[in-house]
Amino acid sequence: MLAILAPGQGAQTPGFLRPWLEDTAVRDELGALSEVAGIDLAHYGTEADAEQIRATDIAQPLLVAAGLVGGRALLAEAPVPDAIAGHSVGEITAAALAGVLSPADAMAFVAARGRGMAAASALRPTSMMAVVGGVPEQVSTAIEAAGLTAANNNGRGQIVAAGTVEQLAELSANPPARARLIQLSVAGAFHTVHMRPAVAALDELASALSTAAPTTRLLSNADGAVIDDGAEVLRRLVRQVANPVRWDLCLDTLAELGVTGVLELPPSGTLTGIAKRNLKGAALFNLNTPDQLTDARAFMADHTEVAA
């Protein structure tokens, strides 16, 4: 049983797309996606520095584009995965690779998402902080006491708190016992009420997009459920902007399905790291460069239930 995972914001690093652009077809595909997004994805994936690609309206289209070019290159000669899921903005990558949205519509959606969330973030200084370790009940209590939202539940031992910088300072001053706090390099309190201004514009855009049923099991960040209706997938993508990411529930679903192999799309490493702690015994594969495609396809063939 094979699952493909698409990473979310924060996974990007300077120059991570450079190896992929050695292929003419990938350069052309990225150029077409750049036209839709309205930004030069090749530039941001090869030449821009860490601060430039940290910006929400740049990072989100860049990550989805990377997942699309890497995923489409992989799946062109590989079996259909048994399940696919994406973390936060990676849900858009997953939806496109599962056939729910066309690549162009996925890019139009994520570009609007990134702009809307960047604008919402500019209304008031907000951010996010990972809480690693601690007793779960005490962690939840400390987050709530500071007025924060548990915006990402990433499974065993990691919850991401989000809210105003003042609320995050309150959490830092009163941390839960035996927990480590890590300030994240993000520009806003994503997946909280602070992102509600971004939802209306996305809702309007979504009404003009066409959807299809997923070609494989597609998991939702809202509750870990497998969603088999394309229109419902899109509705959930809109709502998820201002609601918590329950990656823990996605991990529970993958465990219940009996997943034996997990492959993360570029830029990979974050979600396989989480899977290592939560999906004991599952084999892991980080796809980051095109020279890994042959090995990645062999990994898929070893773990996919019914090879194409």
At 265-297, the pLDDT tens digits run 999 999 999 999 999 999 999 999 999 999 999
Average pLDDT value over all residues in the chain: 96
User: Which tokens in the block code for residue 30?
Assistant: 């990225």
Residue 306: pLDDT band (50, 70, 90) is low
In the block, which residue shows the tokens 């062999």?
A: 298
Q: Determine the CATH number of domain 2-121+192-303.
A: 3.40.366.10
Closest CA to 57 of 264, 255, 224, 198: 198
Selecting among 34, 127, 191, 220, the annotated active-site residue is 191
By the 8 A CB rule, do 118 and 55 touch?
A: yes
Per-residue model confidence (pLDDT) at position 307:
43
Mean pLDDT of 64-71: 97
Selecting among 34, 87, 88, 194, the annotated active-site residue is 88
Q: What is the DSSP secondary-structure string of 250-286?
A: HHHHHHHHT--EEEEPSSPSHHHHHHHHHSTT-EEEE
**In the annotation, is 88 catalytic?**
yes
Residue 308 scores a pLDDT above 50: no
Can you name the CATH fold of 126-183?
Alpha-Beta Plaits (3.30.70)
Domains 2-121+192-303 and 126-183 agree in fold: no
At 137-174, the pLDDT tens digits run 999 999 999 999 999 999 988 999 999 999 999 999 99
For 231, phi and psi rounded to 5 degrees? -65, -40
Q: How far apart are CA 64 and CA 106, in angstroms?
A: 8
Q: How far apart are CA 112 and CA 208, in angstroms?
A: 13
Closest CA to 181 of 170, 166, 171, 189: 171
User: Which tokens in the block code for residue 258?
Assistant: 């009996």
At 29-46, the pLDDT tens digits run 999 999 999 999 999 999
DSSP 81: P
User: Which tokens in the block code for residue 213?
Assistant: 């049923």
Q: What is the DSSP secondary-structure string of 13-53?
A: -TTTTGGGGGSHHHHHHHHHHHHHHTS-HHHHHHT--HHHH
Closest CA to 176 of 152, 212, 146, 219: 146
Residue 238 scores a pLDDT above 50: yes
Q: How far apart are CA 245 and CA 87, in angstroms?
A: 8
Residues 6+ apart with CB under 8 A from 246: 153, 221, 222, 223, 224
**In the annotation, is 34 catalytic?**
no
> Residue ranges per domain, the chain?
2-121+192-303, 126-183
Residue 185 scores a pLDDT above 80: no
Q: How far apart are CA 33 and CA 120, in angstroms?
A: 24
